[in-house]
Amino acid sequence: MLHTQKTTEKIILIGMDGATFDIILPLVREGKLPSFARLLEEGTWGNTTAIPPDSPEMWTSIITGVKPEKHGIHDFGYQNDDKFIPFNISFIKPMPLWRILSNRNKKVGIFDWLFAWPPEKVNGFMVTLDERSMSPFPMAYPKNLTLCYPLLSFEYFLTLNKINFTKRGHFIDNINCTSEEYIKLVTSIEKYKEELFLNLFRKNPEVDFFAYVSYLPDDLQHLYYSYMEPYYFDVEKEEVKKYGNVIPEAYELLDNFLENFIDDENITLIIVSDHGFHRRDITAGPLLVKNFSDFGRYNHIVFRMNYLLNKTGFLSFDERGEEIDFSKTKAYFCNNLTFSGICITSRNEYERNYTIEEVVKILKNIKLENGERIFLNINTTNSSNGPNILFQLNPLLLKKETFKFEFKGKGSHAYDTPASIKYIVINTTLIRKILLFNTSFEIDELIDFSQLSGGHQINGIIIMKGKNIKKNFTIQNVYPIDIAPTILYLLKEKIPTYMDGKVLTEAIKEEYLSKNPILYTKEKYISPTLTPKISKEGEFKTIEERLKELGYLK
């Protein structure tokens, strides 16, 4: 807990990668997240709509107030021949809040924002842990910033060595450690960051705008969702015991952290996530094999039922191909506590019956190359809620020996990222294709192997609390681009006209709104002074040079 020391009015923006109310609200009801509970009661909150629901686009939109098509960040980096070049601070083209505010003599304290490395000159400080492959220690501006390093264990560094951090946000693609090591690592990184941040927060009461990002929810939700909601997945009881609390405990850790900022009247706290999260089976399909390896991520092989329904014209995805567009969908794979099957959307009985018949035809005729059926015991009901078509998977497909994988990467064990399912073997027959009438599919087109149990979704979170923020109010129609203009407005700063977002006036008290008109300024979209000019080939060198300048590389 903080001693109540006199602070100036300030905004603290806390980013939580992948945080979702789908997990927060049940935990709040159970009394496990007292800080979140207070914030919901004493503040304004609601879902955000994150399109696309991915970190590079959304964190950049949040801090710049512009849409992805305008800021141009669409991945964690780009491929240059055989090298993956991660994006860095120079790729953020529009002015991030820290630059706008620094230019206007506001003091900022920025902590581990995505791509904000190497740290740049700001009016205040900037700390980043990004690019840990280059330095396991935080990099900071100013260089002589006093950082008190919490004591890190030897194991921490050992584990750190097993993860390739060059692709920030893609921890899970580069793991060479056990589940236990991974959980311990990402959790200790979070604790370490929080301690560093609190230290700087306490030492710099004059800062007007703090920003901090935790990547913990995303790092854990991708891998351990199935253990938190085991009834939707085919996971072992033993593992549920071991990993079932991993995600709730991560939120409890963040809840503890939030406690530090709740009581100070001078703090306006804004919590946002870049995107939401959901069980990945929502867009996937029936599970084929459990416990493929002892690491969470490879626990299931999934028949991509929704993909098949899409290919056969019964289901439409959104533009990104990730969410079901229900307005155009007739049938989709659905499951809950008690069933899994195919649901028909039509409310009209005749239409429903017709669609059921058509889909059953597909299920009966989708076969392996050797003529073996994939789905057996197909049953139908005409109920208007629940699954209309139930089926069983051919038990031949429920053995893990059936699937042969092609691995890429150096090692040979299952932690390496496998390319795909190469073929399946049933009674010594090698099968590479799945047939449906005259159409043939490659095995890996319909059967997905590297299945994470949690995936991104477009509903993220926003929670705001402060003396100018409405109490116990829920807000709608919030987009990540709205955060930056809202922060500027709350700091009584003019908003650059190029920003795409709007001030979230609904969340703000009438009193403040009437006293403070929203003011705009025509400002340059790109900051010429701080964005280094980098040629395509020279990119790596330039970054290395900058790191050298800052004293991180020798």
Report the interface residues with Zn ion, using CB under 5 A. Answer: 218
Q: How far is the CB of 296 from Zn ion (least distance, A)?
A: 14
Q: How far is the CB of 371 from Zn ion (least distance, A)?
A: 40
Task: Tell me whether residue 277 or residue 298 sits nearer to Zn ion (CB atom).
Answer: 277
Q: How far is the CB of 73 from Zn ion (least distance, A)?
A: 15
Q: How far is the CB of 218 from Zn ion (least distance, A)?
A: 4
The number of angstroms, rounded, from the C-alpha of 189 to the middle of its chain's C-alpha atoms is 17
Q: How far is the CB of 19 from Zn ion (least distance, A)?
A: 11
Contacts of 137 by beta carbon, 8 Å cutoff, 6+ apart: 149
Rg, Å, the chain Cα set = 25
Please report, as a single letter, which amino acid is at residue 458: I
Task: Tell me whether residue 57 or residue 218 sits nearer to Zn ion (CB atom).
Answer: 218
Task: Tell me whether residue 218 or residue 281 sits nearer to Zn ion (CB atom).
Answer: 218
Task: Tell me whether residue 112 or residue 218 sits nearer to Zn ion (CB atom).
Answer: 218
Contacts of 223 by beta carbon, 8 Å cutoff, 6+ apart: 172, 179, 182, 296, 297, 452, 453, 454
Task: Tell me whether residue 183 or residue 495 sits nearer to Zn ion (CB atom).
Answer: 183
Q: How far is the CB of 53 from Zn ion (least distance, A)?
A: 9
Nearest-angstrom CA–CA distance, 405 and 173? 17
Counting other chains too, the contacts that 424-433 makes at CB distance below 8 Å and 24 or more residues apart are 424/368, 424/397, 425/401, 426/368, 426/370, 426/372, 426/396, 426/402, 429/370, 431/368, 431/369, 431/370, 432/369, 433/368, 433/369
Task: Tell me whether residue 388 or residue 457 sits nearer to Zn ion (CB atom).
Answer: 457
**Paired tokens of 486:** 């809202």
Instruction: Return the residue matching tokens 């919590």.
Output: 271
Task: Tell me whether residue 44 or residue 47 sits nearer to Zn ion (CB atom).
Answer: 47
Task: Tell me whether residue 218 or residue 448 sits nearer to Zn ion (CB atom).
Answer: 218
Q: How far is CA 63 from CA 43, 113, 272, 274, 463, in A?
A: 22, 9, 11, 11, 16
Task: Tell me whether residue 120 or residue 218 sits nearer to Zn ion (CB atom).
Answer: 218
**Kind of pairing between the strands at 495-496 and 520-521:** parallel
Q: Where are the alpha helices (DSSP H) in 51-114?
A: 55-64, 68-71, 97-103
Q: How far is the CB of 445 from Zn ion (least distance, A)?
A: 24
Task: Tell me whether residue 86 or residue 119 sits nearer to Zn ion (CB atom).
Answer: 86
Q: How far is the CB of 105 from Zn ion (least distance, A)?
A: 36
Q: How far is the CB of 388 from Zn ion (least distance, A)?
A: 33
Axis crossing angle, helix 21-29 with helix 246-262, rounded to the nearest 10: 80
Task: Tell me whether residue 221 or residue 260 sits nearer to Zn ion (CB atom).
Answer: 221
Nearest-angstrom CA–CA distance, 188 and 372? 49
The number of angstroms, rounded, from the C-alpha of 433 to the middle of its chain's C-alpha atoms is 33
Contacts of 549 by beta carbon, 8 Å cutoff, 6+ apart: none
Q: How far is the CB of 222 from Zn ion (least distance, A)?
A: 6
CB-CB contact of 336 with 328 (8 Å): no
Number of residue whose CB is nearest Zn ion: 218
Longest CA pairwise span in the chain (Å): 78
Closest CA to 113 of 96, 93, 133: 96
Q: How far is the CB of 247 from Zn ion (least distance, A)?
A: 13
Nearest-angstrom CA–CA distance, 94 and 270? 22
Element (H, E) at 550: helix 539-550
The number of angstroms, rounded, from the C-alpha of 55 to the middle of its chain's C-alpha atoms is 6
Phi, psi for 444 (deg, rounded to 5): -75, -5
Q: How far is the CB of 55 from Zn ion (least distance, A)?
A: 6
Q: How far is the CB of 219 from Zn ion (least distance, A)?
A: 8
Task: Tell me whether residue 218 or residue 539 sits nearer to Zn ion (CB atom).
Answer: 218
Q: How far is the CB of 103 from Zn ion (least distance, A)?
A: 32
328 by DSSP, 3-state: which?
Answer: helix
Number of C-beta neighbours around residue 548 at 10 A: 12
Axis crossing angle, helix 216-228 with helix 246-262, rounded to the nearest 10: 140
Task: Tell me whether residue 218 or residue 444 sits nearer to Zn ion (CB atom).
Answer: 218
Task: Tell me whether residue 201 or residue 277 sits nearer to Zn ion (CB atom).
Answer: 277
